[in-house]
Structure 1
Amino acid sequence: MSFLLFSSFLYFLTLISPSSARTTTLSLKPSAAAPPLTNPWQRLSHLAAASASRAHHLKHPKTNISNTNVPVFPRAYGGYSISLSFGTPPQTLSFVMDTGSSLVWFPCTPRYSCSSCNFQNVKNVSTFIPKSSSSSKIVGCKNPKCRLIFPDVQCRNCDNRSTTCTEFCPPYIIQYGSGSTTGLLLSETLFFEKKSVDNFIVGCSLFSSRQPSGIAGFGRGPESLPAQMGLKKFSYCLVSHRFDDTLVSSDLVLVGGAGGAEKKSGINYTPFGRNPTTGNSAFQDYYYVTLKRITVGGIEVKVPRKFLRPDSSGKGGAVLDSGTTFTFMENHIFEPIAQEFEKQVRKNYSRAVEIENQSGLRPCFDVSGENSFTLPKLSFHFKGGKRMELPLADYFSFLGDSVVCLTMVTDNPDDGGIGPGPAIILGNYQQQNFYVEYDLEKSMLGFRGELCK
């Protein structure tokens, strides 16, 4: 790629001014459906593989993922999308909402290139055109906001005593479980219906791999949308995954400035955990929560305590991630849970091993011929005594009328030690039909079971 050409293309762009804030509501919907598949269990296999790949990225944020097998359909990890408007006049584009990363970026220029995106016509992907916006300006190397992404940046071609510098902030390269993206940082205006946010730092991507459209980072990093908007909290209620073309959506509520959103009753609150103080800096983006125990059918699963709380280097602990579909658990957590389900369920139903091989999920159970059936309840117990009891559809998939499968994934068995990064990644499939609130001011997670619509 030629970043010199890219820089020249954007060099003449310009900037604008400041803004206000209170409560903003956006439409939040499941991202584009995958192409039709001949076998209904293939889709689960794709999503299971994508969830495992995404987990690998969150646990190893800076490793090369070129040899990782991932699905190749749009937004393959089964995320949720929002529409945001940037530029003057505003250009509206679709973004995957991602609480597991922080940078906001969009495809930039009509020459946007996406490798391994043969599953979607990239020519039809909405792209941002900087030269059509009077508020676009490429971020300079000496701009303090360049250090949001590159804390240790060295402006080699700039005089430290000079206040002017024509050197640009370095190009970024960001990896995700299902691809990567590369580009330069822009300073732009982010528009909402009743307010705007000027000097918003956004990624202008020219090249991507398996990422045809943009991502809105809602993580804890200083470059995230909540941080740049100065939000006090944000909340969402995820409508159920339908894996079809049904147009359904719910609200993503952003709260900032004076005043706030209407308070909801019956919310359970648990404090966010402390992020690791050493190790990979990417772990600072994650929303850690403290899981005290996990129960299946009211029975506490014997999970090694060392997996439930992260150490200072980032080994262990649990995080929330809206960009992961199926919850990931390290093998030494997953296996006791799977075994407890099998122990309680096998009295009534047999294992569907063939479907397990096709779907990549386990355990699966044959419930054919049953007009109704019951399965053990799965509950997460958080610090502060707050319990999240999942609806059955949040942890078992009911594709077809004869088999159900546990919708969580794991990695390969290891030697018993804790691997790098979070041991549990709570995905969006397990957050369906819950009101979920991120209180950034009080550093608390709130949740309540709710029919999202």
Structure 2
Amino acid sequence: MILLPLTHSLSKTQFNTTHHLLKSTTTHSTSRFHHHYKNHHQLSLPLSPGTDYTLSFNFGPYSQPITLYMDTGSDLVWFPCTPFNCILCEFKPNPSPSSSSPPTNISHSTPISCNSKPCSTAHNSISSSDLCTMAHCPLDSIETKDCGSFHCPPFYYAYGDGSLIASLYYDTLSLSSLKFRNFTFGCAHTTFSEPTGVAGFGRGLLSLPAQLASHSPQLGNRFSYCLVSHSFRHERVRKPSPLILGRYEDEKQSNGDEVVEFVYTSMLDNPKHSYFYCVGLKGISIGKKKIPAPEILRRVNKRGDGGVVVDSGTTFTMLPAGFYDSVVAEFDRRVGRVNRRASEIEMKTGLSPCYYLDAAATVEVPGVTLRFVGVNSSVVLPRKNYFYEFLDGGDGVRRKERVGCLMLMNGGDEFEVSGGGPGAILGNYQQQGFEVEYDLEKKRVGFARRKCASLWDRLNRDKN
């Protein structure tokens, strides 16, 4: 087992108001979800400050420190390399411990050859012959498969609001006590609106877990994280969230005052977007009312449409419009009959429905349960994972009022006509306070309620 700390970018990001933070977060979640339908090889959206998690490790023979966003929705590890030029990055925050730290020096790294499997994978499975032609390998060498000294051509990598051009190299990656030699990564000398790299944890061949599995199967074939509950409060993310590579003895057993039992649902294979962690959703319960999910959320079809992507890089859970409306209608029937709708807050935050709450009384909010496909595969969400309460006003113009908003979002019906993409996304806000396990060997995703800060303390203590 390898234990690594995940740092929530909220701890290094300042927002002027709660409205600003929530609007930024909802906008990012919507953009990332809708970008899954664009016809790019790489469908992940760059992660945004205040909503996501960063991972640090050492790289190369001189152990250069690198901080990247951790993302289960993409399958490539890339970072800025010197010399580095980022176009339109003046107002983009950098999550590195020192924002003035220079990009990585790769002078000792080895370029990947044009006839290698990683090169073909990065270029969306273009043949080695075509790639070596692009690398100017002579025809006789292409025919004799003797192009090993010719480097993999640079590749273009597009996001929703940015892009980059990268080249493939390999070098030593240091994860805690493990030194992983010949690790493949993308080196970007030029990016557009992308100052920070990404550690892809998806199911693709170039992701960090996939490469780790080829080096050490017991470490790479299963990983989990436990996101510390924060409710957008800085003081709650002082401790890191544990990222655990490999197995440890804690499954289905009592740990002090905490009983650990995972609820599992099977991964669904996606023929078009193979790196997604897709699962099936049967429905959502609001209190005791079961609301069935549309068929497209229960499975993935041959075109790659459907399923629910479990994603560390999207903040809020996104649901298709018709299903979302049914969930909200039942929620509003229970909450809206005793609390006034806060339409102005909905406009400012991008969340809906929101309500003005009684300042003194305990507000009754129905429970929310995610019913995944499988036997006994339901996950009961803690209230703070789906209903966010905060104070609005107190600015000298309006008195402070207590407000509460549902933290699920309308993803629209674009997936029904776009010709490809997930039906919904399970965001990281709804994953707080759970250990989420990705078991690549048994092809399943598991959820267990945990005290994540305590889990970090215990595992870190046991490691030392």
TM-score (norm 2): 0.83
SS in 1 for 2:274: helix
Name the CA shift for 1:193/1:411 in 2 (closer, same or farther; >3 Å): closer
Residues 414/202 of structure 1: CA separation in 2 closer, same or farther (3 Å cut):
closer
Q: 1:435 is paired with a residue of what secondary structure?
A: strand
1:38-85 per-residue CA deviation (whole Å, 9 max, x = no partner) reads 4321210110000001111223351999xxxx99xx834711111121
User: What is the CA RMSD across the aligned residues, in angstroms?
Assistant: 2.6
Q: For 2:160 and 2:364, how far apart are their aligned partners in 1?
A: 34
Alignment partner of 1:238 is 2:263: no
What is the DSSP-based 3-state SS (H/G/I as helix, E as strand, rest coil) of the residue aligned with 1:168? coil
Q: Number of paired residues?
A: 414
SS of the residue corresponding to residue 425 of structure 1 reads strand
Alignment of 1:268 onto 2:241: no
Question: 2:299 matched to 1:309?
Answer: yes
Question: Match for residue 149 of structure 1?
Answer: 122
The change in CA–CA distance for 1:97 and 1:64 in structure 2 (over 3 A counts) is: closer
Q: By how many angstroms is 1:207 displaced?
A: 1.9
**Does the CA-based 8 Å contact 2:81-2:189 persist in structure 1?**
yes
Structure 1 CA distance for aligned equivalents of residues 434 and 19 of structure 2:
26
Once the two structures are superposed, what CA deviation does each residue of 1:79-138 show, in whole Å capped at 9, x if it has no partner? 11111211002111111110000100111114342424424379725521112xx3x111
Select the residue among 289, 293, 300 that pairs with 2:283. 293
What is the percentage of aligned positions where both structures have the same residue? 33
User: Contact 1:34/1:243 (CA < 8 Å) preserved in 2?
Assistant: no
Shift of 1:35: 5.1
- 1:130 aligns with 106
Which of 24, 35, 40 pairs up with 1:57? 35
Q: Structure 1 counterpart of 2:229, which letter? A: S
Q: 136-145 vs 211-220, which deviates more?
A: 136-145
1:226 partner letter: P
- The aligned residue for residue 180 of structure 2 is 197
The range that moved more, 154-163 or 26-35, is: 26-35
Structure-2 change in CA distance of 1:38 and 1:58 (3 Å): same
Residue 268 of structure 1 aligns with an amino acid whose one-letter code is F
Q: CA deviation at 1:168?
A: 2.0
Is the contact made by 1:270 and 1:289 (CA closer than 8 Å) also made in structure 2? Answer: no
Q: Secondary structure of 2:36's match?
A: helix
Q: Structure 1, unaligned stretches of length 5 or more? A: 1-22
Q: What is the CA–CA distance in structure 2 between the aligned matches of 1:205 and 1:114, rounded to whole Å?
A: 12
Partners in 2 of 1:342 and 1:370 — Cα distance? 21
Query: Quick check: 1:188 aligned with 2:171?
Result: yes
C-alpha separation between the residues in 2 aligned to 1:126 and 1:289? 40
Q: How does 1:86-101 map to 2 (within 5 A)?
A: 86-101=59-74
In the TM superposition, residue 333 of structure 1 has moved relative to its aligned partner by: 1.8
What is the match of residue 115 of structure 1?
88
Long gaps (5+) in structure 2: 214-219, 253-259, 392-400, 454-464
2:4 corresponds to: 26
d(CA) in 2 for partners of 1:362, 1:331:
13
Residue pair 2:58, 2:66 contacting (<8 A) in 1 also: yes
1:249 corresponds in structure 2 to 240
After TM superposition, give the deviation of residue 271 of structure 1 in Å: 3.8
Asked if the contact 1:50–1:77 (Cα under 8 Å) also holds between the matched residues in 2, the reply is: no
Q: Distance between the aligned counterparts of 1:305 and 1:413, measured in 2? A: 14
Deviation string, structure 1 residues 161-216 (Cα, Å, up to 9, x no partner): 15244432122222334533321111111112322111111011112233221110
What is the one-letter code of the residue matched to 1:261?
Y
> CA-to-partner distance for each residue in 1:354-379, whole Å, 9 max, x for gaps?
10011111001111323321211111
- Counterpart amino acid of 1:130? I
Which protein is richer in helix relative to its size? 2
- C-alpha separation in 1, matches of 2:188 and 2:3: 26
- Asked if residue 370 in structure 1 is aligned to residue 360 in structure 2, the reply is yes
User: What CA distance in whole angstroms lies between the structure 2 residues aligned with 1:111 and 1:238?
Assistant: 32
Q: Closer, same or farther in 2 for the Cα pair 1:372/1:288, shift >3 Å?
A: same
* 1:405 corresponding residue in structure 2: 405
The more displaced of 427-436 and 244-253 is: 244-253
